[in-house]
Amino acid sequence: MSKTPASPKGKPAPKSQPRKAPAKPEGAAPEGDRIAKVLSRAGIASRREAERMIAEGRVSVNGKKIDSPALNVTAADRISVDGQPLPEAEAPRMWLYYKPIGLVTSNSDEKGRKTIFDELPEDMPRVMTVGRLDLNSEGLLLLTNDGGIKRKLELPATGWLRRYRVRINGRPKDEDFAPLRKGLVIEGERFQPMTVSLDRQQGANAWLTVGLREGKNREIRRAMEDIGFSVNRLLRVSYGPFQLGNLKPGEVEELRARVVRDQLGLEPEEEKPAARPTRARGGKPAGKPMGKPAGKPGGKQASQAPGKAGRPAGKAPPSRGSRPEQRGGGKRPAGKNPRR
C-alpha cells in the first residue's frame, strides 16, 4: 500500500515580491498642459500667437529653445519668453469695451490702420479680444486677460446669442427676412438661422434687431446684401449675458470678479455646494448617523468594563459570525438607528 509523501519540512515559504506601480496604459495623455495653452493662460498671447512665437524661437523651456508647440509642460518646468521668466497666471478678468467705428480689431494691421489696442487706456494690462467687429462696425467688444476664456466664448458650442441693432437702406417688409430666419448658403458657406425683427422705418432707412449665435466674417452685412439690402450702420448691443448699456464710444468698464465667475462657471472649489450623500442598496442615504452613539461599534463591547460614572455599559455582542451592519460605506453604531 503506497503512502502519500509527506510535505517537506523546513522548506522556506516563497518570498513575497514587492508590488510594482501599475504601468501607464498605452496612449495615456501626458501630464501637464500644452505650452501654447500655458502661455495663453498667463496672458502672453492667444494660442495661435503663442504658436507663432514658438516657431520664431522666442520661447525656452528649462533653458532650451523650442520650435514646436507639441510639448506638454507642468508647474515644475521653467518657461521664459524673449529671455524673461513667464509671469504667474493672473486671476481671470474681463472688460466691456465700446469699439468705435474706424478701428481694426487686431494687434497690428498690415495697412497701418489704427487698432483698438492703440486706443485702450495705458493702465490696461495685456488683453485679448473675444471675437471681432469689422472696421465699420461698432458696439460691445469683450476683452479678457485669459486665453482660456477667450477660446471658450468663441467656440460655437458655447452658443451665446449676440444681438445687433442694424440700419439698412430701403423699405423692407417683415416677410423679406424669411430666408435669414431659415438660414442661408452664400458662395458655398452656410449661415445659421438668425432672429430678425423689423423695429421701425426712419425715412429711407429701416432699423432692425438681429440675433445670431456664431460670428462669421461680415455675416450680417453679407446676409442682408443677399436679400437685396445694404447695411449702413451696425451696432452690437449684447454678447450673451453681457450688455453694452450706457457705455460711450471708446469707454472701457471692468466686470466684477464675481460676475465673471458666475457667468462663466468659474466658481472656486470652496464655494461649490457639498456633494449629495450617496445611496446604499437599501435606498437609505449613507453617511454619519444623527446623534451620538451609545458606545463603540463592534463585537468587543461585552468584554469591556462599564465606563466612568454616568456612562452606560456596553451593549451585548452581536450573534456569532455577524458584524455591525454597514450601509453605503458609513458605519452604523450599535444600539442607535441613524435614521432618527
Q: Which three three-digit cell numbers place residue 275?
A: 456633494
Residues 6+ apart with CB under 8 A from 24: none
The sign one gets for the Cα dihedral 98, 101, 102, 108 is positive
| Pairing assessment for the beta strands 330-331 and 195-202 based on DSSP bridges | unpaired
- CB atoms under 10 Å from CB of 224, counted, come to 24
Contacts of 78 (CB under 8 A, 6+ apart): 61, 62, 63, 85
DSSP H helices in 257-313: 257-264
Q: 215 with 137: CB under 8 angstroms?
A: no
Which amino acid would we find at residue 71? L
Instruction: Exactly one of 77, 109, 134, 226 is catalytic; name it.
Output: 134
Give the residue from 229, 226, 223, 227 showing the smallest Cα distance to 211. 223
**Catalytic annotation present for 134:** yes
How far CA 46 is from CA of 28, 37, 132, 148, in Å, comes to: 27, 8, 14, 9
DSSP letter at 57 equals T
Query: 225 with 182: CB under 8 angstroms?
Result: no
Q: SS3 for 164?
A: strand
Active site residues: 134
